[in-house]
Chains A and B, each alone.
Chain A
Amino acid sequence: MAKETQKPFRQSMAEWRQFIYNPNSGEFLGRTAKSWGLILLFYLVFYGFLAALFTFTMWVMLQTLSNDIPKYRDRISSPGLMISPKPDTALEFYFNKSDSQSYAEYVTTLQNFLESYNDSKQSQNIDCARGKIFEQSEAAVKKACRFNLSDLGLCSGKEDPNFGYSKGTPCVLVKMNRIIGLKPEGEPQIQCTPKEEGMVSINYFPRDGAMDLMYFPYYGKSLHAHYLQPLVAVQLAIAPNATKEEITIECKIHGSPNLKNQDDRDKFLGRIAFKVMMSE
Chain B
Amino acid sequence: MQDDHRLSTSELEMKYGTSIDKGLSSARAAEILARDGPNALTPPKATPEIVKFLKQMIGGFSILLWIGAGFSWISFGIQLAQGVDSAFDNLYLGVVLALVVILTGIFAYYQEAKSTNIMASFSKMIPQVRATVDNSSLTGESEPQSRSCDFTHENPLETRNIAFYSTTCVEGTATGIVINTGDRTIIGRIASLASGVGNEKTPIAIEIEHFVYLVAGVAISIGVLFFIISVSMRYKILDSIIFLIGIIVANVPEGLLATVTVSLSLTAKRMAKKNCLVKNLEAVETLGSTSIICSDKTGTLTQNRMTVAHLWFDNQIYSADTSEDQTTQPFDQSSPTWTALSKIVTLCNRAEFRPGQENLPIMKRVVVGDASETALLKFSEVILGDVMSIRAQNRKVAEIPFNSTNKFQLSIHETDDPQDKRFLLVMKGAPERILERCSTIMINGKEEPLDSEKAEAFQTAYMELGGMGERVLGFCHLYLPENEFPETFQFDTDSMNFPTSNLCFVGLLSMIDPPRSTVPDAVSKCRSAGIKVIMVTGDHPITAKAIAKSVGIISATSETVEDIAKRLNIPVEQVNRREATAAVVNGMELKDMSSEQLDEILRNHTEIVFARTSPQQKLIIVEGCQRQVRQAWQSVIYVPPALICATSQGSVVAVTGDGVNDSPALKKADIGIAMGIAGSDAAKNAADMVLLDDNFASIVTGVEEGRLIFDNLKKTIAYTLTKNIAELCPFLIYIIASIPMPIGTITILFIDLGTDIIPSVALAYEKAESDIMNRRPRNKRRDRLVNQQLAVYSYLQIGIMQSVGAFVTYFTVYAEQGFLPSTLLGVRVNWENNAINDFEDSYGQQWTHYQRMYLQWTGYTAFFVSITIQQVADLIIRKTRRNSIFRQGLFRNKVIWGTETPELELSCSQVFLSEIFAPTPRFQYWFVAVPFAILIWVYDEIRKLVWALGFPPSSPVVTWIKPQH
Interface residues of A, Cβ cutoff 8 Å to B: 1-4, 7, 12, 15-16, 18-19, 27, 30-31, 35, 38-39, 42-43, 46-47, 50, 53-54, 57-58, 61-62, 65, 68-73, 75-76, 79-82, 86, 89-91, 175, 177-180, 218, 220-222, 224, 227, 263, 265-269, 272
Contacts and interface: CB of A to CB of B under 8 A. Distances in A.
A96 B189 CA distance: 91
Contacts of A80: 837-838, 846-848, 851
B845 A76 contact: yes
19 contacts: A1-B200, A12-B642, A19-B638, A30-B640, A35-B956, A39-B960, A43-B796, A50-B801, A50-B804, A54-B804, A54-B807, A61-B808, A72-B818, A72-B922, A175-B838, A221-B843, A268-B837, A269-B850, A272-B837
B820 interface: yes
Contacts of B848: 80, 177, 266, 268-269
B27 interface: no
A31 to B, nearest CB: 7
Given A15-B641, A19-B639, A179-B846, 11 more contacts: A2-B626, A19-B640, A30-B639, A39-B956, A72-B922, A75-B847, A80-B837, A177-B847, A177-B848, A180-B844, A218-B844
B494 interface: no
Contacts of A15: 640-642
Contact of A90 (B638, B811, B835): B835
Given A7-B642, A267-B850, A57 B931 contact: yes
Contact of A4 (B627, B645, B957): B645
Given A1-B670, A31-B638, A81 B855 contact: no
A190 to B, nearest CB: 15
B816 interface: yes
B400 interface: no
A175 B846 CA distance: 11
B797 interface: yes
Given A19-B640, A39-B956, A75-B851, A86 B835 contact: yes
Contacts of B845: 70, 73, 76, 177-180, 218, 220
Nearest to B850: A266
A62 B815 contact: yes
A12 B641 CA distance: 8
A184 to B, nearest CB: 15
Nearest to A71: B816
A268 B849 contact: yes
Contacts of B849: 266, 268
Interface string B646-657: 101110000000
Interface string B780-815: 000000000000000011001100100110011001
Contact of B844 (A65, A224, A268): A224
Contact of A70 (B801, B807, B843, B851): B843
A58 B928 CA distance: 11
Contacts of A90: 835
A81 B837 contact: yes
Contacts of A266: 848-851
A209 B410 CA distance: 128
B817 A75 contact: yes
A180 B841 CA distance: 11
A60 to B, nearest CB: 10
A248 B595 CA distance: 89
Given A80-B847, A175-B838, A1 B638 contact: no
Contacts of A221: 842-844
Contacts of A65: 815-816, 820
B52 to A, nearest CB: 23
A263 B853 CA distance: 15
A82 B846 CA distance: 10
Give the 9 A-B CB pairs with smallest separation, nearest first.
A221-B844, A80-B848, A177-B846, A30-B638, A70-B818, A266-B850, A19-B640, A1-B648, A82-B838
A1 B811 CA distance: 54
A65 to B, nearest CB: 6
B835 A62 contact: no
A181 to B, nearest CB: 10
A43 B874 CA distance: 20
Interface string B613-647: 00000000000001101000000001111110110
Interface string B847-863: 11111001100100000
Interface string B477-501: 0000000000000000000000000
Contact of B843 (A18, A69, A265): A69
